[in-house]
């Protein structure tokens, strides 16, 4: 696929690994899209070998690039995966950054997928939080534009010894139905406000489109494409 325009370096290949789909897009030096978003389903058995094989296929459709930014659904520190609840246990302690740098011969940065999406949305003022309502529940929090890495709200006990993800993830939506799910999303917004005292909250992920109640002035639904657009910003911050 040819890029739409010619832009100066650095060009960033942005990757969004999800429990349902894997997406990539090429961004210019200003963080603007140079290609369409390419997507392929996440393999039924999403082991590192199988996911990387799909990434190689997507990458082959993209023009040349200078660096890579990856959003991954789990706790990520220094390029190493520590949790991957919606993928496969083989990801735990897997050095995805080192593997991609070896395969693609480009510098790579990796962060939690919600954190990357949040980078495209935050204003850099006060305490800002993002919750992604997708296959699971993603979360990230920032102070004055700086990410606090490692937050994994999804698996925190919430109601009757069940976790936030049990209720708010894809499985919860299907089990509870839209009406009950919406009530719990509203409750989670109140709970996180009381817990984290955020100034702004952003709601992303595929199921954010199912929200049917009025949001406060400091709560905003953001585009799913931000999961890729935040990749350029990842290179401006420590991951």
Q: 155 and 111, same structural domain?
A: no
Q: 105 and 142, same structural domain?
A: no
Residue 70 within any structural domain of the chain: yes
Q: 52 and 139, same structural domain?
A: no
Q: 99 and 25, same structural domain?
A: yes
Q: 151 and 66, same structural domain?
A: no
Q: 88 and 36, same structural domain?
A: yes
Nearest CA among 50, 80, 63 for reference residue 24:
63
Residue 96 within any structural domain of the chain: yes
Which residues of the chain form beta strands (DSSP E)? 12-17, 21-27, 38-41, 67-72, 76-77, 80-81, 94-95, 108-112, 127-133, 137-143, 146-147, 157-159, 162-163, 200-204, 219-221
Q: 215 and 132, same structural domain?
A: yes
CA distances from 134 to 16, 74, 93, 229 (A): 13, 13, 23, 18
88-138, pLDDT tens digit by residue? 999 999 999 999 999 999 999 999 999 999 999 999 999 999 999 998 999
Query: Is the pLDDT confidence value at 1 over 60?
Result: no
158-216, pLDDT tens digit by residue? 999 899 999 999 999 999 999 999 999 999 999 999 999 999 999 999 899 999 999 99
Residue 184 within any structural domain of the chain: yes
Q: Say how many domains are in the chain.
A: 2
pTM for this one?
A: 0.88
pLDDT value of residue 3: 47
Nearest CA among 52, 228, 16, 15 for reference residue 135:
16
Rg of the chain over all Cα atoms, to the nearest angstrom: 17
Q: 204 and 169, same structural domain?
A: yes
Residue 2 within any structural domain of the chain: no
Nearest CA among 208, 162, 173, 161 for reference residue 189:
208
Q: 133 and 105, same structural domain?
A: no
Q: 20 and 109, same structural domain?
A: yes
Highest mean pLDDT among 27-41, 88-102, 144-158: 88-102
Residue 6 within any structural domain of the chain: no
User: What phi and psi, each to the nearest 5 degrees, are found at residue 162?
Assistant: -100, 155
Range of the domain at 173: 124-221
Give 9: exposed, middle or buried? Use CB within 10 Å, 0-12, 13-18, 19+. exposed
Q: Return d(Cα 40, Cα 109) in angstroms, integer.
A: 21
User: What phi and psi, each to the nearest 5 degrees, are found at residue 176?
Assistant: -85, -30
Residue 197 within any structural domain of the chain: yes
Residue 215 within any structural domain of the chain: yes
Residue 134: give its domain's CATH number: 3.30.420.40
Yes or no: say if 218 and 199 are a contact pair by the CB < 8 Å rule.
Answer: yes
Residue 1 within any structural domain of the chain: no
Q: 178 and 146, same structural domain?
A: yes
Q: 108 and 156, same structural domain?
A: no
């Amino acid at each position: 696929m040819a890029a739409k325009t010619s832009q100066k370096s650095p060009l960033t290949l942005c990757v969004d690994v999800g429990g349902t789909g894997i997406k990539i897009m090429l961004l210019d030096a200003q963080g603007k899209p140079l290609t369409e978003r390419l997507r392929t389903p996440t393999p039924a058995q999403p082991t590192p070998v199988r996911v990387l094989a799909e990434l190689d296929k997507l990458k082959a459709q993209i023009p040349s690039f200078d660096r890579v930014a990856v959003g991954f659904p789990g706790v990520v520190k220094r390029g190493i995966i520590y949790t991957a609840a919606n993928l496969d246990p083989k990801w735990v302690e897997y050095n995805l950054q080192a593997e991609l740098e070896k395969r693609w011969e480009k510098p790579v940065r990796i962060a939690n997928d919600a954190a990357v999406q949040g980078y495209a949305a935050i204003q850099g003022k006060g305490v800002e939080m993002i919750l992604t309502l997708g296959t699971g529940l993603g979360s990230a929090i920032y102070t004055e534009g700086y990410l606090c890495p490692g937050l994994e709200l999804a698996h925190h006990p919430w109601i009757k010894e069940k976790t936030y993800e049990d209720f708010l993830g894809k499985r919860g939506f299907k089990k509870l139905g839209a009406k009950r799910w919406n009530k719990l999303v509203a409750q989670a917004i109140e709970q996180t406000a009381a817990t984290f005292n955020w100034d702004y909250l952003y709601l992303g992920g595929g199921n954010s489109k199912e929200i049917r109640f009025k949001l406060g002035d400091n709560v905003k639904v953001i585009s799913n494409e931000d999961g890729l657009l935040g990749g350029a910003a990842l290179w401006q911050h420590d991951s």
